[in-house]
Amino acid sequence: MSGAGHSSPTILRVNGVAREVASPPERLLLDVLRGELRLTGTKRGCGIGVCGTCTVLVDGVPRLACRLPLGEIGEREVLTIEGLAGHDGTLHPIQQAFIDAGAIQCGFCTPAMVLRAKALLDRRPDPSREEIRRALGPVLCRCTGYHQIVAAVERAAHVLVRGKT
């Protein structure tokens, strides 16, 4: 299956590290992350681009890893949930806000929700509730009713803005 024998390895920049991967360029990023790199924080809720749980950030933009072939990524930087906390384990303020606001239940949608929130807040530090809902819209959550997740993003926005000023 893997073309490792006859094609040269690809370099994938993920979570700040350039990693050599053996997967062929047509392999989906989700399978590369989960299967080859064991970055299993990126979830597979449907595999066909509907549930959003496979969301990663590619140069800061949310993308569905189950729809994205490895070869399309090129030099761009992939961020998964594993790359968000500091090396010393310090949580990113968005992660902390999710804990504080009770936004985590079963946790299966959580990595994708956090990354969508990060993409939003990087772009719009002070979003309206409507903008938050729009940003989270592509990720399905069956547990929370979304309210505590929206509240977590609002809380994170406050912390991040305050932290900067």
Partner 1 sequence: MIGRSPARTDAREKIVGSTRYIADYVVPGVWQGITLRSAVAAGRIRTVTADAHFPHGEAVLVTGQELGATNRVAMVTDEMPFLATDAVRYAGEPIALVAAPTLHAARAAAHAVRIEIDPCTPLFSLQEAEERRRADPASVRVHAECRITRGDAAAALRNAAIVIAGTYTTQAQEQAYIEPQGVIAWPGQRGGTVIEGSLQCPYYVHNALVRLLGCAPEDVIVRQSPTGGAFGGKEDIPSVIGGHAALLARACGHPVRIVYDRHEDLLFTPKRHPSIVHHRTGVSEDGRLLAMEITVVLDGGAYTTLSPVVLSRAVLHATGPYECPHVAIHGVCLGTNIPPPGAFRGFGAPQVAFAIESHIDRIAHRCHLRPDEIRRRNIMRIGSVTATGQILRESVSAERVLDEALTASDFVRKWQAHGAAARQRHRRGIGLALTWHGGGFTGNGEVNLASVAALSIEDDGRLLIRTSNVEMGQGAHTALPQIVAERLGVPLERIACAQPDTSQVPNSGPTVASRTVMVVGRLIERCADQLADALEQAAGPRAQWNDFDGALDALRTAGDPLRFEARYEPPPGIHWDERTYRGDAYAVYSYACTVVELSTDTLTGEVKVERAIAACDIGRAIHPQVVEGQIEGGVLQGLGMGLLEQSTTHEGRFDQNRFQTYIIPTALDAPEILPIIVEDPYSRGPGGAKGLGELPVHGPAPALANAVAQASGRRITDLPVTPERIVAAGAGDPASPIRDLPSPSRDLPSPSRDPASPSGVGDEKEEA
The residue ranges that bind partner 1 (CB under 8 A) are 1, 34, 38-53, 61-64, 67, 80-82, 84-85, 91, 95, 98-100, 102, 104-111, 114, 119, 132-134, 136-150
Q: Does 99 help bind ligand FES (rule: CB under 6 A)? A: no
Contact by Cβ (8 Å): 45, 38 = no
Determine the size of the site formed for ligand FES (CB under 6 A).
22
Among 9, 49, 74, 125, binds ligand FES (CB under 6 A): 49
Q: Does 106 help bind ligand FES (rule: CB under 6 A)? A: yes
Nearer to partner 1, 18 or 91 (CB): 91
3-state DSSP assignment of residue 64: strand
- CA–CA dist 161, 10 (Å, integer): 38
From residue 91, how far is each of 5, 14, 21, 155, 163 by CA, in Å?
Answer: 40, 18, 28, 15, 15
Q: Strands of 77-79's sheet, edge to edge?
A: 17-21, 10-14, 77-79, 55-58, 61-64
Binders of ligand FES in range 12-41 (CB under 6 A): none
Contact by Cβ (8 Å): 28, 48 = no
Picked from partner 1, ligand FES, none, the partner binding residue 147 (CB below 5 to 8 A depending on kind) is partner 1
Among 22, 40, 46, 148, binds ligand FES (CB under 6 A): 46
Nearer to ligand FES, 120 or 139 (CB): 139
DSSP state of 70: G
CB of 50 to ligand FES, least distance (A): 5
Which has the closest alpha carbon to 29: 16, 10, 6?
A: 10
Residues that bind ligand FES (CB under 6 A): 44-47, 49-54, 64, 66, 105-110, 141-144
